[in-house]
Chain A
Amino acid sequence: MTTESISLTVNGQPRRMDIDPRTLLVQLIRDHLGLTGTHVGCDTAQCGACTVHVDGRAVKSCSILALQADGTEVTTIEGLATGDELHPMQQAFRDCHGLQCGYCTPGMVMSAIELLKHNPQPSEQQIREGLEGNICRCTGYQNIVKAVQQAAGA
């Protein structure tokens, strides 16, 4: 097996390792770094459970090679809280019951943060459209929308 070296920052920590070039970013995050908060919900890049931030932009980590993130700053769901204090978006999902099984939640939270970054006061419609790349099988989305509204108001 050929390997390539990669260095990137994950949740503020510099990481350097040698990987098989075929490694997907989500495999690096989950299998190599043990950060299993980022989920895999499909194999067609549709569900959004694997959403992380690469240099501040939400991407589906199941559909880029880890090597494509060489030199970037990656933030996963584990990188949001400050100590015991949840990120306002995490807190809002908790307060508003924006989850049931929780499978989609890490991706939802990462996408919702990107949404508010570009549009701090979104309408309900804009929230629904901004999260169209994330699928939830449980909640019916109502409480997810409420959570984003709470975080926007916070």
Chain B
Amino acid sequence: MSATRYLRPTHLEEALAALGTHPWTVLAGGTDFYPGRVGKPVDVDVLDVTRIADLRGIQVAGGAVRIGATTTWSELITARLPNVCAGLKAAAREVGGVQIQNAGTVAGNLCNASPAADGVPALLALGAEVELHSGSGARRVNLGEFVLGSRRTARRPDELVVAVHLTPWPEGAKGVFLKLGHRRYLVISVVMVAACVALDAAGRIARCAVAVGACSAVAQRLSGLEARVVGMRPDEAIAGITNADLTCLTPIDDVRGSAAYRRDAALTLVRQAIEQAATP
């Protein structure tokens, strides 16, 4: 195809109308789009969504957070967010280097749906919902139901991700993000763990969310573990975490490590993440 078209709408309606009638490839920061093409010229029609004002920026209202789709990782790092989002910020700092954080967007990370995307476990632990719009309406999907597999999402071709929503956590809840890779930068991670913990007045776990990335095609919440530790003191909860809590993970053997190594690393990081998230 030679006649590549480029469209850069400033209003959401324009973008949705375009998507309803033609197979445009959505482009935000381009940090997955271009490297994925490895030197091949752009041969698709490009819909650049970075100038749509409704898609940009972060709003916080009473603990609920709306992250516009084209919010960059740099914008997220400098935003004032509830403490429970500290893990999300830590994940943002892991996304490439500064240049990538300046251009790469939150929705781009989710839509690209890499098994090693840093944003996915961090947002899964926060219970994020993805807001999608099309010419025929809007819907919200839990992030866990949005990312379907490696490079596969529930987005229909006529839909655009407009925002990511975080529901409030109790005040004082804390979030952490831990990542194990062979180098800190530019490598696919071996294991990523995000945890959010809220304690009650007696210092017992009132609410807990844990997500593990890079150990299955799609990052997984450990819902069994999350439910089991409610009401426990953090130290007893951590002592009781075993491989049985990780049965939903399906790590692979590859050059970066064996499945057994990944499972062991995940177990250690889950314990550490809960411990850190439960330490005020």
The residues of A with any CB-CB pair to B shorter than 8 Å are 1-2, 4, 20-22, 24, 43-46, 48, 51, 57-60, 62-65, 67-68, 70, 111, 114-115, 130-134
B258 shortest CB reach to chain A, Å? 26
CB of B5 within 8 Å of the partner chain:
yes
A92 shortest CB reach to chain B, Å? 19
| A residues in contact with B185, CB < 8 Å | 132-133
CB of B3 within 8 Å of the partner chain:
yes
Using known A-B contacts A1-B2, A45-B34, determine if residue A58 contacts B8 with beta carbons closer than 8 Å: no
A44 in complex: contacting residue of B6, B38, B103, CB < 8 Å: B38
A-B contact pairs, 17 of them (CB 8 A): A1-B2, A21-B5, A22-B4, A22-B42, A44-B35, A46-B35, A48-B97, A57-B74, A59-B102, A59-B103, A64-B103, A65-B6, A67-B6, A68-B27, A68-B48, A131-B97, A133-B96
Q: Known contacts A43-B35, A45-B100, A132-B98; can you find 6 more A-B pairs with CB under 8 A? A: A22-B41, A43-B38, A46-B35, A60-B99, A65-B27, A68-B30
| A residues in contact with B256, CB < 8 Å | none
A63 in complex: contacting residue of B3, B30, B41, CB < 8 Å: B30
* Residues A132 and B97 in contact, CB atoms below 8 Å apart: yes
* Residues B4 and A60 in contact, CB atoms below 8 Å apart: no
| B residues in contact with A132, CB < 8 Å | 97-98, 184-186
| B residues in contact with A133, CB < 8 Å | 96-100, 185
B181 shortest CB reach to chain A, Å? 12
| A residues in contact with B33, CB < 8 Å | 63
| B residues in contact with A131, CB < 8 Å | 97
* Cβ proximity bits B34-48 to A, threshold 8 Å, 1 near / 0 not: 110011011100101
Q: What are the 10 tightest A-B residue pairs by CB atom distance, in nearest-first order?
A: A133-B97, A21-B6, A43-B39, A63-B34, A45-B35, A22-B42, A132-B185, A57-B102, A132-B97, A133-B99
Interface size class of B (residues with CB under 8 A): 20 to 34
CB of B31 within 8 Å of the partner chain:
yes
Name which of B4, B8, B97 has the most chain A CB atoms within 10 A of its CB: B97
| A residues in contact with B71, CB < 8 Å | none
| A62 nearest CB neighbor, chain B only | B34
| B residues in contact with A64, CB < 8 Å | 29-30, 34, 103
- Find residues 1-36 in chain B having any chain A CB closer than 8 Å to their own CB: 2-6, 8, 27, 29-31, 33-35
Docked Cα-Cα span, A59 to B30, in Å, equals 11
CB of B220 within 8 Å of the partner chain:
no
* Residues A67 and B31 in contact, CB atoms below 8 Å apart: no
* Residues A65 and B31 in contact, CB atoms below 8 Å apart: no
CB of B50 within 8 Å of the partner chain:
yes
* Residues B103 and A46 in contact, CB atoms below 8 Å apart: no
| B8 nearest CB neighbor, chain A only | A67
Docked Cα-Cα span, A63 to B103, in Å, equals 9
| A residues in contact with B96, CB < 8 Å | 133
A115 shortest CB reach to chain B, Å? 7
| A residues in contact with B2, CB < 8 Å | 1
| A residues in contact with B38, CB < 8 Å | 43-44
B100 in complex: contacting residue of A20, A24, A60, A68, CB < 8 Å: A60
* Residues A134 and B97 in contact, CB atoms below 8 Å apart: yes
| B residues in contact with A134, CB < 8 Å | 97
- Find residues 228-258 in chain B having any chain A CB closer than 8 Å to their own CB: none
| A residues in contact with B29, CB < 8 Å | 64
| A residues in contact with B98, CB < 8 Å | 58, 111, 114-115, 130, 132-133
Using known A-B contacts A70-B8, A132-B97, determine if residue A1 contacts B34 with beta carbons closer than 8 Å: no
| A residues in contact with B103, CB < 8 Å | 59-60, 63-64
| A residues in contact with B102, CB < 8 Å | 57-59
* Residues A65 and B35 in contact, CB atoms below 8 Å apart: no
* Residues B48 and A63 in contact, CB atoms below 8 Å apart: no
A1 in complex: contacting residue of B3, B6, B184, CB < 8 Å: B3
